Structure 1
Amino acid sequence: MNYQALADQIKQWATELGFEKVGICDIDLHEHEAALQKWLDAGYHGEMDWMARHGMMRARPAELLPGTIRVISARMNYLPPKAQFASNLSDPTQAYISRYALGRDYHKLVRNQLKKLGEKIEKEVEKLSYRPFVDSAPILERPLAQKAGLGWTGKHSLILDKEAGSWFFLGELLVDIPLPVDTPSENECGKCKACITSCPTGAIVADGIVDARKCISYLTIEFDGIIPEEFRTAMGNRIYGCDDCQLVCPWNRFSDLTQQKDFHRRESFESPDLLSLFAWDEKTFLQKMEGSAIRRIGHLQWQRNIVIALGNAPYSEQIVSALEKAKGQSETLDVHLNWAIEKQLANLPSSVTSHQRLIRIVQKGLPRDA
């Protein structure tokens, strides 16, 4: 078997399957184990207990698929046309949703394409043990991507490429054949700290190290409890994820738009008015989010995130009324509703007299010093 020729063929097949770039690396990640353990010991994984539960398996691909000696790392662009970054973030009455989640859930699409790639390789070599992963197993995908030459780990902890920025998904195909490996990428961040200084909640605590407990993406997606009050105002109108660290990255000037229509903005998010999204009942939420990664957080968490955004919006009687009517669904939601109502009343226009202000506060059943 001419493995170099096979590696070249694999990359060609991957391009035909919709991947923008593919690289190959060995499975030795021992140099990352100490940093991973230190990150876990610091509690930076928050309530993502599965990260600690799987421990060092994340740095040992062969424990996921015995016999694995190579990882084929692939990336697929997801930046949609008309991303509307500025217009969404600058309008506090509109919801900001991380650009990776505007279309269909990427897990199934990327995994299916990786599976097809594995099938093509298997047909060529006749005997192959392989397994595709897309955020579906405890594996250090970013260090693997860097070893495979797909980019370097930026200070925001995401993979960056000087020809493509960071708006792409990663996926891995574990195989048991001795393919030639690619040259690892070198770090090109230099002295730039734009991502660190722009993080709304200060979640990037050191170069390449993110404290998930402060990260808006973690808080709005992975965490289903009561969001600490210290982060709520900083969340602004971000109701699902956060792209700020990518938005300010100079390398993202070179990003290409996705060729996958499934990643384009869905109709429900063409004009994501906060009050309109908040009005969805659970049945509507499940229908509108069919095939979306957002669906997995559930209706109550969706509402919780929107409640915080509504609290951060300019004062509106309509908003206060909607928040009041939503009470009683759950204790966790009520905590956020009360905060948002207080925040709204604290932002009453100066044109409202102090007497009118007091009446409105008392009517809402809030303390007079609210």
Structure 2
Amino acid sequence: MNQAFKDEVIQHSKQIGIDKIGFAAVDVFSTLKERLKTQQELNFQSGFEKGDVEERTNPQKLMPGAQSIISIALAYPSKMKDAPRSKKDERRGIFCRASWGKDYHHILRDRLQKLADFLKEKHPDAQFKIMVDTGELSDRAVAERAGIGFSGKNCAIITPEFGSYVYLGEMITNIPFPPDKPVEDDCGDCNLCVDVCPTGALIQGGQLNAQKCIAFLTQTKGFLPDEFRSEIGNRLYGCDTCQVVCPKNKGKDFHLHDEMEPDPEIVKPLLRPLLTISNREFKEKFGFISGSWRGKKPIQRNAIIALANYKDKSAVEDLIAVMKNDPRPVMRGTAAWALGKIGDEKAIEAIEEAKKKEQDEQVLEEMEKGLAFFTSTTI
């Protein structure tokens, strides 16, 4: 396929709301293949990955006859207008920037489908496979090969124009396009993201232990390991630390897509109301953002931990109610732990009382942890 048609596709991509587009060859991602094997051996994977190593590194396995991969990037905002303040007795949590606005999976699929329609119109025999985040291919590896940006030490694609505040998606197609050249790595000696990662999840430049990454941990549904609870702070979903400290993101804040604009009350919500929110209320309020994909359970657990980290005494009654009445052991146990960390006399009495009726071993263990907080501060 000649350069003229590629230029035509690039021009059309701008008209349909794609901020950056790149084209890559369908060769096996051999470097990624070795990295994935290492990740498996070290148990650094999150468990959310789709497909085996072969499928994740060989486009031909996913679409026989594949000739090219088209990678796209859309820039999202890094700053929120009129953000509400978290204050005493009205503490708030936070969703990461990648969960602001409408779920990006829908936005990128819409753009990629429009692009596919254009390709089909020009070439009726065109075939394509669209992927956004949840597909087998690594969005980052494709974007890197397609010249969208370089893979930074924070494991994000960093573009010259938008920094790392971009959503990525791709399309495998049987249309051959001249490939673009990769962007040169520009992290240099900077190691800020690795140095400030709250849990040490960034092992070295470009290698992530997902099991320790706060962005992953906030999406788990069980009891959060003790060593990560204080590190989560008031995060309800995701973590932006490694992006915020990146010098390449300084001054980068793009408001190019209305559907990506955050509703401050949604992405920085009051914590206490989250403890009693129903499934229906949760879906109505948060269902359209990507941070809701795991349901309300992780968000509620993280809200309890955030209240504990704030030592919010105004939440004691709410937490006692969760500890006594919630049918889910994770919520009861985390609430007991939180009550102990807050350290209110009434909270401690409530833990002692609830302990007499509690049957679940893990919840009882959390209750003991809560009481131990109080004991250590009164000795």
Shift of 1:173: 1.2
Residue aligning to 2:361: none
1:364 maps to 2:351: yes
**Residue 369 of structure 1 aligns to which amino acid in structure 2?**
T
CA deviation digits over 1:29-84, x for unaligned, max 9? 12321111101211111443x45x52221111121111112100000011165267
Shift in CA distance, 251/33, structure 1 to aligned 2, threshold 3 Å: same
1:264 maps to 2:261: yes
Shift in CA distance, 363/295, structure 1 to aligned 2, threshold 3 Å: closer
Farther-moved stretch of structure 1 (299-308 vs 230-239): 299-308
1:40-189 → structure 2 map (5 Å cutoff): 40-48=40-48, 50-51=49-50, 54-79=52-77, 81-82=79-80, 93-189=91-187
Residue aligning to 1:293: 290
Q: What is the rounded CA distance, in whole Å, between the counterparts of 1:91 and 1:342 in structure 2?
A: 18
SS of equivalent residue, structure 1 residue 369: helix
**Residue 22 of structure 1 aligns to which amino acid in structure 2?**
I
Of 217, 236, 240 in structure 1, the residue corresponding to residue 237 of structure 2 is 240
1:275 maps to 2:297: no
Q: What is the rounded CA distance, in whole Å, between the counterparts of 2:43 and 2:233 in structure 1?
A: 25
Aligned partners of 1:268 and 1:288 also within 8 Å:
no
Residue aligning to 2:363: none
Aligned partners of 1:200 and 1:234 also within 8 Å:
yes
Aligned partners of 1:155 and 1:195 also within 8 Å:
yes
Farther-moved stretch of structure 1 (252-261 vs 224-233): 252-261
Aligned partners of 1:89 and 1:96 also within 8 Å:
no
Residue aligning to 1:322: 318
Identity of aligned residues (%): 29
Q: What is the rounded CA distance, in whole Å, between the counterparts of 1:274 and 1:30 in structure 2?
A: 45
Residue aligning to 1:352: none
Residue aligning to 1:39: 39
TM-score, normalization by structure 1: 0.89
SS of equivalent residue, structure 1 residue 128: coil
**Residue 76 of structure 1 aligns to which amino acid in structure 2?**
L
**Residue 24 of structure 1 aligns to which amino acid in structure 2?**
F
Provide structure 1 residue ranges, at least 5 long, that are not aligned to the other structure: 349-356
Residue aligning to 2:359: none
Q: What is the rounded CA distance, in whole Å, between the counterparts of 1:212 and 1:255 in structure 2?
A: 26
Aligned partners of 2:22 and 2:71 also within 8 Å:
yes
Provide structure 2 residue ranges, at least 5 long, that are not aligned to the other structure: 353-366
Residue aligning to 1:25: 24
**Residue 338 of structure 1 aligns to which amino acid in structure 2?**
A
**Residue 38 of structure 1 aligns to which amino acid in structure 2?**
T
Q: What is the rounded CA distance, in whole Å, between the counterparts of 1:230 and 1:25 in structure 2?
A: 42
Q: What is the rounded CA distance, in whole Å, between the counterparts of 1:204 and 1:81 in structure 2?
A: 24
Shift in CA distance, 160/87, structure 1 to aligned 2, threshold 3 Å: farther
CA deviation digits over 1:65-124, x for unaligned, max 9? 111121000000111652678967999922111012121111112112101101111211
Aligned partners of 2:153 and 2:194 also within 8 Å:
yes
Aligned partners of 1:67 and 1:176 also within 8 Å:
yes
Farther-moved stretch of structure 1 (6-15 vs 290-299): 290-299
Q: What is the rounded CA distance, in whole Å, between the counterparts of 1:180 and 1:89 in structure 2?
A: 55
Q: What is the rounded CA distance, in whole Å, between the counterparts of 1:216 and 1:85 in structure 2?
A: 23
Shift of 1:338: 1.6
Aligned partners of 1:156 and 1:195 also within 8 Å:
yes
Q: What is the rounded CA distance, in whole Å, between the counterparts of 2:158 and 2:263 in structure 1?
A: 26
TM-score, normalization by structure 2: 0.87
Shift of 1:277: 3.1
Residue aligning to 2:192: 194
Shift of 1:270: 6.8
Q: What is the rounded CA distance, in whole Å, between the counterparts of 1:171 and 1:239 in structure 2?
A: 25
Of 308, 311, 319 in structure 2, the residue corresponding to residue 311 of structure 1 is 308
Shift of 1:307: 0.9
Aligned partners of 1:80 and 1:263 also within 8 Å:
no
Q: What is the rounded CA distance, in whole Å, between the counterparts of 1:130 and 1:105 in structure 2?
A: 23
Aligned partners of 2:95 and 2:267 also within 8 Å:
no
Shift of 1:362: 3.0
CA deviation digits over 1:282-323, x for unaligned, max 9? 22111112322233211222211111111101331x211111
